Chain A
Amino acid sequence: MDIKATVLSILSDLTGEDFADRMDEDLYASGLLDSMASVQMLLSIQEQLGVPVPVSEFNRDEWSTPNKIVAKVESLENE
Chain B
Amino acid sequence: MINLQPYSNPQYFLILLAALLPIIIGLYFGKRLKIYEALFTLVFLVLTFGGVKWQEGINLLLWLVFEFCLTFAYQHYRKQGKNKTSIFYLTVILAIIPLTVTKFMTTQPAGSVPFVVGFLGISYVTFKTVQVIMELRDGTIKQVDPGTYLRFLLFFPTISSGPIDRYRRFKQDYDKAPSRSDYITDMQYAVRYIFQGFLYKFIIGWFFGTLWLPKIEHQALAVGNMVGGLKLSWWVVAYMYCYSMYLFFDFAGYSLFAVGISYFMGIHTPMNFNQPFKSKNIKDFWNRWHITLSFWFRDFIYMRFTFWAMKKKLIKNRIRLSQASYLIDFLIMGFWHGLTWYYIVYGIYHALAIIINDIWLRFKRKHQKQIPHNKFTEAFAIFLTFHVVCFSFLIFSGFLSQLWFGWK
Contact B140 A39 (CB under 8 A): no
| Given known A-B contacts A39-B306, A42-B307, A43-B311, A57 and B138 have beta carbons under 8 A apart | yes
Beta-carbon contacts of B320-359 to A below 8 Å, as 1s and 0s?
0110010000000000000000000000000000000000
**Nearest Cβ in chain A — how far from B313, in angstroms?**
11
Contact B299 A36 (CB under 8 A): no
The 6 closest A-B pairs by CB, nearest first: A54-B138, A56-B138, A39-B306, A36-B322, A56-B140, A56-B135
SS class, residues of chain A in contact with chain B: helix
User: Size class of A's contact patch?
Assistant: 10 to 19
**Nearest Cβ in chain A — how far from B165, in angstroms?**
14
Question: B283 to chain A: which residues have CB within 8 Å?
Answer: 34
Question: A43 to chain B: which residues have CB within 8 Å?
Answer: 307, 310-311
B303 beta carbon closer than 8 Å to chain A: yes
B30 beta carbon closer than 8 Å to chain A: no
User: In chain B, residues 29-69, which have Cβ atoms closer than 8 Å to a Cβ of chain A?
Assistant: none
Contact B306 A57 (CB under 8 A): no
Question: B325 to chain A: which residues have CB within 8 Å?
Answer: 36
Cα of A58 to Cα of B306 in the assembled complex, Å = 14
| Given known A-B contacts A40-B310, A43-B310, A56-B135, A35 and B140 have beta carbons under 8 A apart | no
Question: B140 to chain A: which residues have CB within 8 Å?
Answer: 54, 56-57
Question: B139 to chain A: which residues have CB within 8 Å?
Answer: 54
Beta-carbon contacts of A21-38 to B below 8 Å, as 1s and 0s?
000000000000011101
Question: B310 to chain A: which residues have CB within 8 Å?
Answer: 39-40, 43
Beta-carbon contacts of B290-324 to A below 8 Å, as 1s and 0s?
00000000111011101100110000001001100
User: In chain B, residues 130-163, which have Cβ atoms closer than 8 Å to a Cβ of chain A?
Assistant: 134-135, 138-140
A1 beta carbon closer than 8 Å to chain B: no
Contact B307 A36 (CB under 8 A): no
Cα of A55 to Cα of B299 in the assembled complex, Å = 7
Q: Which chain A residue has the least Cβ–Cβ distance from B318?
A: A36
Q: Which chain A residue has the least Cβ–Cβ distance from B311?
A: A43
Contact B303 A39 (CB under 8 A): yes
Q: Which chain B residue has the least Cβ–Cβ distance from A46?
A: B311
28 A-B contact pairs sorted by A residue (CB < 8 Å): A34-B283, A35-B298, A35-B302, A35-B306, A36-B306, A36-B318, A36-B322, A39-B303, A39-B306, A39-B307, A39-B310, A40-B318, A43-B310, A43-B311, A54-B138, A54-B139, A54-B140, A55-B303, A55-B304, A56-B134, A56-B135, A56-B138, A56-B140, A56-B299, A57-B138, A57-B140, A58-B299, A58-B303
Q: Which chain A residue has the least Cβ–Cβ distance from B365?
A: A31
Cα of A62 to Cα of B325 in the assembled complex, Å = 24
